[in-house]
Each structure stands twice: as C-alpha cells, then as structure tokens.
Structure 1
C-alpha cells in the first residue's frame, strides 16, 4: 500500500470520526467531558447510566482480579500444579444466579425509566417539531389548556456559521463565539423558547426524510419520521441555553441543522409568547388587507 493511499485512508477515517463525534455526539460539549450529560430535566437516564456503569466496573474488577491472581500467583514457575476437577456445582449456581439477578434489576430500572419517559399525560404545553432538509420548524400548539394560534417559525443554522462552513470561505470557525463559548455549527437564528418548571410534550414528525431531534441535556432523542408522530416530554428545572443536533443521517447538510432550546422563567416565557401572538395577528391582518379586493367605483 503506497503512502498516498495510506494518507487518504487516514484522512477518510478522520473525517468519519469527526462527523460522528464532532457533531451530533458532541451537540452540547463541556470542557474535558468524558461522561454522559447529567441533564437538566425532571427525567434523565443519567442515574440509570451510572448504575449500569458501576455494575460493569464491579464485575470487571472481580473477573479481571481473579484472572490476574490466577495468572501471577498460581503460575507454573512458582511450582503451582493444576487441579484436576471438572466443575463445581456451587460455583456454577452462583455465577448463574447472580448475573440473572443483576439483569432483572437493571431491566426493571430501564423499564420504569422508559415508561416514565413515554408518559406524556398531564402535559401543560405541546410543541410540534418538524424536521426538514436541513432545518427545524417549531409550532406552539397549546399552553396551559389554551390553544396557541399562529406562533411558529423555522429554525436554521445562524448566518456566521453558514458563511464560514462554505468551501474557500477563509473564515475562522474559532472566532464564532457566544459569551466566550465556541458556537460554530451549534447556534441557530431562532432558538426554541420554552418555560421552566413546565411539563412540555413534544410531537415530533419528519417533513421529508427521517431526522432525529436530540438535545443531550434533556435526556432523550426522538426520530422525526414522515407519516408518524412520535411523542416525548421534558420538564426543565434550570433556565439556560441547551444545544443539540440532528442525530440521524438525513442528507448532505445533516451536520448543519443544530438545535437550540432556550429555557426561561414562566413569566418571561408568557411575555414572549404574548408578543409572538400579537406579531402574528398583526402580520395576518396586514396580509388580509393587502389581498382584499378593492371596493367597486360608485356612480
């Protein structure tokens, strides 16, 4: 294999790794982050993840510990002689029953988490999320039992990142920052604004191909599939800006459709929502006036 072929192979694999770990998998990165995002919502898989992690660590210590003890303490050079027996019924019962119990406990925890995550009853708010190539549309359906009319918008990659990503733009991605945080390919022109301490139901669909709506801090991701309405919920406890990305390969600009959720106090959200409704009504009235037929001449 020539050096040129090797170099091209390495470059190709590096590009694949960046596409996988540098975009969707790191939609909301933190300095020196090695673990799953803890999450800011009422329901998060972080606790279950940590239980599974420590169970695996404990099993690894036991298994590899026994293996290394057997390798070094009872090696042939120290005069150890192998035992001549076929099996131990007691040991076989132990290493069969204990793993079964562990799996049952983990399965019960996982099932409880999934049923809680899927239960959208009692939601105070509904937002419809539609994935398009390559942007998201958000429509506010209802809030506190009242229908929300004409509040919806398209959210796409913000302008500076869009210019920088173009071939031969000669622009520096490191210079795109918000409050000192690099937001290259992670920011949008219009974030999704939601209230904290509110159970929000998301109805997620696809407008053309399959997408996947994922904000790591919310603790879940959901596919946006044409013709199928998937549902999930969140109840954000802390105000802030939470970022994510499409997690389903959906076309050439898959890596350029980030998600930004801006969680604010209820009073601030209600003021924002009222402003959006007034602007929508004004825009509709203006459009109606422009399309209305001119009055017929009298006389």
Structure 2
C-alpha cells in the first residue's frame, strides 16, 4: 500500500524535498545530461560554443588536480541549507583545527552516495567555515568524474578535487596551511555494504592515506558520520552472492560501484530514489599529530594506521549512544 504525503505539508518541507531531489539528480543524472548537451552543441547552430568550451577545457585541464576552483557564492546558496535541513545534517567539532596546518581527514562510512561528506565539506549547509574558521575543505572524488564536460566545473565549485597523488601533494605542500583534504577511505566499494544498521568499514588494508600523511607531515583527522547508512535500503547482496560478485566485477572495471538502493518518492513515502529523512551527525575527531617522513617504512605506516583505527573506534564509542547506536554495536573492519 502506498503512503502518500499529506497535502498540508509546510512549504519549508517542500523546499527541503526539492533541494534533496536537485542534489540527487546532480549526481545520478546531471553528468549524463552534460555529455548529451556537449555533444549536441556540435549539431546545432551553436557549434562554436562547443569549440570554445573544448578550448577552455584543454587550458583548464590541470585545475582539478591543483586544488580545484571553489565558488563561495554557490557553496553558500540557500538551496544547500534546505538540503541540510531535509535530513537534517549537523556537523560536530570535538577539537580545534589550526588554520596554519594542513590535514588529511578520513571520512567513514561512505554510505550509498556520500551525503554527509558532500553536505558538510562541499557546501555551507552546516556552516563549515564558521565551525572551523580559516580552514578550506576539499573532498576527493574519482578522477573519472572530472572528465565530463560542464559537470567537472559544477563539482569543482563545491571543493571537489581529483583523487590523484599530484592533487594531494599540491594541497598538502601549501606552507600557509589551512587545507583539510577529506578522503572517503572506504570508497565506492564500501557503498555496497551501506544499509541501515551496518557498521562495517573497508579500512583494514586501506593505508594509502596514512602514507600520504607521513610523506607530507599532515595531521590525520578521523571523522565518523552517524546516520550515513540509514538513508537508503539496499537489495540484499551478502559476500559470496551472485549479485555481489557482479557488483564487484563492475566496480573493478568501471571504478565505481552500483549499489541497488531505494528510498522514498517526492509525493509518497513508499518507494523511490530520494533518501529517507534520517538525521546525519558528522563528528570530526581530534587530529593525530604526524611527523613528516619522506621515506616511511612499512612498519611505520602500519603503526600509524593502527593508531588511526584506534582513534576512530574511540570516536565511535564515545558518541554512539548519543546518536542512537545500540550499546552492543561496535565497528567492524575488513
């Protein structure tokens, strides 16, 4: 039986739903639309616009790996406040970040679409710049997405940058400091485990971000986003199932995973692709000081990685009761 939304829903909530829909479309359909528009330009009388953009695209090709191009006006757009209030999303600080230092933050869990990561670190929907004054946030994203015309400019405006080592070096080598590079450590593969009640993180063998922190002497910041996995239901795909096998094969080929998820609709609550209205609380932990080592041994990387995992567990345990996680629930690593 379909559960329809009442007609008396306040305008504020309607605008929140609209903002959530625009965000969802921007990542599920906008890229495809940009490709269609770009190719279509060459078959119209506006073909010269395609030539002009192609020239711009070539000249601007290195920008995504050199810090991107944030546009504060777009990050502060009112729509992102509606988006944050839809769930709602909140950003919690447990320690100050020194604006003269650079940081690598590990964000957990990925969730289906990385909603908390985008809302907190690519928009001003949760007032990031006020919570962490003097800090510029950058969220890493697969390089694949920056190869889509027009779409690349859209995602760069919010602070998204490529996941290439060159980009990491560029941002963390800034002697003035103030850069917070956010890495969703579990990546798209972890999205296949994103379902309500799941606290399994793909972290045990993910040590690249730790080594980068050592190479640049950047402090490590653990981040846990409570509620991230509660936004969508996902078709059951346990390890060893035929569906999981297909999803993992496609992920290896394309670099992106394809979780089969569903949520609610725009005017009804029974089915659709909109996320559920579930609270997301993103807790930013205390920085772990890292001494620069341009040639770290595997033992040093392993030691720091274990320290990071311990601090992440401590962060989770310290806040889980407050954010409705059962007392007997603990993080699981694979």
TM-score, shorter chain, exceeding 0.5: no
Give the TM-score taking structure 2 as reference length. Answer: 0.22
Structure (1/2) with the larger strand percentage:
1
- State the structure with more CA Rg: 1
